Amino acid sequence: MLALADLEAICMRESSTTAVLCLASASPRRRELLSSIGVEVEVRPVDIDETPSVGEAADAYVARLARQKAAAGVGPSSLPVLGSDTAVVCDGVILGKPRDQQHAAAMLRGLSGRAHQVLTAVAVSGPAGMLEACATTRVVMRDIAEHEIAAYWATGEPADKAGGYAIQGLAAIFIERIEGSHSAVVGLPLFETAALLARQGVPLWNGADR
């Protein structure tokens, strides 16, 4: 397994020389979402403790982690730094990444045939200080059969996903509807993110918005 320093070195080499933002995450989904709005990034993964505090509400939890990631990502470059965190919440319980197959199956059984919330916070540290926003999306899943749960785990997709599923991947067939931001469920609320980046002076659309 690659150490954080090794992963950071690889990501830095792959980052664009025209980067206008530092992304404090190794998530390819967040990088792709930013690229989709013309924001090229320098990737700088960070390692923070993501354990929820006792009694911490889900919105406060994701906001705290987003701020901590943005702060931890500040480095020698003068680029603004973006941190983000996503949590899946069902019945007031934060569902993290599954520990194993049994845990992932239990998560999907709990989400099957009902609605849950996905909260994604984003924080951007830059000339305007630390700016943050949070998007809450309601996701409704259809009933998921036991054989589908087992087959989905076998694909390998849910192993590193909050809530044990990826809406942009194979699990899309489980989603009946969403109310809110699709990009937030994927990993970054683009509407809120674009507003924060504009306030920090970060150009969008590869500078065509200027």
Reduce the DSSP state of residue 86 to 3 states and report it.
Answer: strand
Token pair, residue 123, equals: 């924080």
Pairing state between β 81-90 and 41-43: unpaired
Active site residue 47: no
Q: Which residues 6+ apart lie within 8 Å of 38 measured at CB?
A: 203, 204, 205, 206, 207, 208, 209
Among 81, 82, 85, which residue's Cα sits nearest to residue 62? 85
Q: Which of these is catalytic: 6, 49, 85, 143?
A: 85
Pairing state between β 175-179 and 93-95: unpaired
User: What is the spatial distance between Cα 36 and Cα 56, in angstroms, rounded to a whole number?
Assistant: 33
**Token pair 């989400």 in the structure block, residue:** 111
Between helix 190-199 and helix 28-36 the angle, nearest 10°, is: 70
Token pair, residue 137, equals: 């999306």
Catalytic center residues: 85
